[in-house]
A and B are shown apart, each in its own frame.
Chain A
Amino acid sequence: MDILDSLKMAGTTLAANRLRSALTILGIVIGNASVIGMVGVGQGAQRLAAEQFESLGPNLLFVSPGQPGQRRATLTAPKTLVLEDAKAIATQVPAIKEVSPQIQNQQQVTYGSKNISTLVIGTNPEFLTVRSFDVERGRFINEQDLKRNNRIAILGPEVANKLFGIREPIGQQIRIKNISFEVVGVTKPKGSFLGSNQDDAVFVPITTLANRIIGRTSVYGLQVTFISVTAQNPASMSAAQFQIRNLLRLRHKITGEDDFTVRTQEEILTIVNTITGALTIMLGAIAAISLVVGGIGVMNIMLVSVTERTQEIGLRKALGATQQDILIQFLIEAVILATAGGLVGTAIGMGGISLVSSFTPLKASVAPMSIFLAIGVSSGIGLFFGVVPAQRAARLDPIVALRSA
């Protein structure tokens, strides 16, 4: 009996029991759809992260206080990175282009009776180019503002909308921590970065924020949240990283472990990818469990099917089917069912993914490799869970099988 006959025979049998076949593959369908869906969303998240990092601006490095592995005594970051460090980097590191220190602080911002809590970012004029922000109306911080501690503010579009609605904010006075600031500009929408909305922010001169609102916070000077640095070109990234590190070790008089971290954009992206990758694997694993459960479902129904078809098996044996013929017949049925389930499940999963990517910013997608893998694994599951029922069928005694009514 050749494989073509077996396939045809299995097809006839499965088609004759359409409802049961459909119910049998349901578990595999759901399992496959969830695997594809989860992996697709995970891969989409990774792609989104990559896109957002690209939108940050080219050749970017971040200097932040503390070490990632450091055991922290408090919830806040160590107060080791100060404004003076940023100035030193700007003047003493040859491989860099621009430096933009940032102090970030959640503050109450009020206009008239409106009161919102938002991120107040103290920074310098270079911020625009370093972080690839644009001003939509009015102007950004300039050197004058820094020198004179001017009480001016530039609003993110979302803050402008929340406080002023459709009215023009430029020229209006807002209050940050009860100090009056004049709105001089509004930035262009930038979207969110890793879940934080970059448009929900107020930008003020870093000197104004330091001197009028926060004050000296660290024994070494004015503590900054982090420093964004751009390198001259992509080739000088690692040189810049190396030089900044040396400079800061010198400035901080460090002989042992660094009390700061210099990371390139790529390094951060790698970290984010590691996290989203782990998340994808976890989601995929949970979905894979449902695939296995689906396989057990196939086995269950196949076992019932063997019992139901005892007479058929007995007859086939009487007509000359060997144990191997029967084994192959039932295995093929199981594999066909599971593969069909895999195909349908994948189609549903892909449908779900395209829904997600059309309704959310997540550009969910699945590599063709994952699709082949998912369908292949489904077939494998069918083969694996088909063995027990197929063996039971193959070992049936034809006499007993024929007599069973």
Chain B
Amino acid sequence: MQKLEDKKISEVAATGKPAIVRLEHISKVYGIGETEVIALNDVSLVIEAGEYCSIMGASGSGKSTAMNAIGCLDRPTSGRYYLDGVDVSQLDDAQLAHIRNRKIGFVFQQFHLLPQLSALENVMLPMVYAGISSSERRDRAVAALTKVGLEKRLNNRPNQLSGGQQQRVAIARAIVNQPVLLLADEPTGALDSRTTHEVMNIFGELNRSGITIVMVTHEPEVAKTTRRIVWFRDGEVVYSHLTPEEMLHVAVAAT
């Protein structure tokens, strides 16, 4: 386990690639005084361009809070967060919305597709908020849906699609604004093993095409397909650069 201990001394961006996510001493505290809960405790983390990385940890370990901070859905109590070189830790709500719209693509466990819209319209939604012209919206949405293999399902409503297909629509929606970071929160949590495989393949392909992916998951099987695993415990990063094999050891130890 000596090798694992070494991994704790992290945060050396050795490769020289630009950092997409750079968390510097990020803390997140909920409540005050007696009821104070420290969700993130001085977390520092660097994710470079082109990485394919999983965030793991037990529930309550702070991985979801970290995810929200990385996704610009929440502001840290203290510390600095540079997303694609921009300090976003103190931006206001409207600026954060703009950052989310342009730089981040979200994929959720529950897909979160709007039931009254077709697959195409769902994928066009982020571009509506980006102010892109409607003709361009359509072209880009079709391209994104083609990329996830749903070019024949453009006009289907979510309830006319299988779970795996719905998640692929959600992935198309996440990449349609060409974000610098694709954030997936338990993307396979609601899928069976076959569709899980399908969705992971798409993530793999997207990563190979150059998209930086960060995925929160508690399934070792899923995390294994990524190239780097960050392990959270009690609001801290305990391991920041686990390989899939090392992760399996840690996962066994944790249970």
Contact = CB atoms under 8 A, between A and B. Distances in A.
Interface of A: 1-2, 5, 9, 12-13, 15-16, 311-312, 314-325, 398-399, 402, 405
12 contacts: A16-B115, A311-B112, A317-B97, A318-B100, A318-B106, A318-B112, A320-B100, A320-B130, A322-B97, A322-B129, A323-B93, A399-B68
Interface string B88-115: 0000011001101110001010101011
Cβ-closest 3 pairs across A and B:
A320-B101, A16-B116, A320-B129
B83 to A, nearest CB: 14
A131 B110 CA distance: 84
A311 B94 CA distance: 19
Instruction: Indicate the member of A15, A312, A316, A318 with the most B CB atoms within 10 Å.
Output: A318
Contacts of A322: 93-94, 97-98, 129
B114 A320 contact: no
Contacts of A323: 93-94, 97
A319 B173 contact: yes
B128 interface: yes
B93 A321 contact: no
Contacts of B198: none
B200 interface: no
B97 A321 contact: yes
A321 B116 CA distance: 18
A315 B173 CA distance: 11
Contacts of B100: 317-320
A136 B217 CA distance: 100
A5 B129 CA distance: 9
Which of B94, B112, B130 has the most CB atoms of chain A within a 10 A radius of its CB?
B112
Nearest to B113: A315
B94 A5 contact: no
B131 interface: yes
B125 A319 contact: yes
Nearest to B117: A12
B74 interface: yes
B112 A315 contact: yes
B57 interface: no
B74 A9 contact: no
Given A312-B114, A402-B112, A318 B73 contact: yes
Contact of B74 (A12, A16, A399, A405): A399
Q: Which of A1, A315, A317, A402 has the most CB of B within 10 A?
A: A315
Contacts, number: 68
B117 A320 contact: no
A379 to B, nearest CB: 24
Nearest to B185: A402
B108 A321 contact: no
Given A16-B116, A399-B73, A319 B108 contact: no
A314 B177 CA distance: 18
Query: In this complex, which of A1, A319, A398, A405 has the most chain B Cβ atoms within 10 angstroms of its Cβ?
Result: A319
A12 B173 CA distance: 19
A320 B126 contact: yes
Contacts of A399: 68, 73-74
A240 B101 CA distance: 82
A137 to B, nearest CB: 75
Contacts of A12: 116-117, 121
A16 B101 CA distance: 26
B198 to A, nearest CB: 22
Nearest to B108: A402
A405 B74 CA distance: 20
B102 to A, nearest CB: 7
Contacts of B128: 1, 5, 9
Given A13-B116, A323-B93, A2 B131 contact: yes
Interface in B62-94: 68, 71, 73-74, 93-94
B106 A319 contact: yes
A314 B68 CA distance: 13
Contacts of A311: 110, 112
A9 B98 CA distance: 20
B126 A319 contact: yes
Given A318-B100, A319-B173, 12 more contacts: A12-B117, A311-B110, A315-B108, A317-B100, A319-B106, A320-B97, A321-B129, A322-B98, A322-B129, A323-B94, A324-B94, A402-B108
Contacts of A16: 115-116
Contacts of B106: 318-319
A399 B71 CA distance: 10
A397 to B, nearest CB: 8
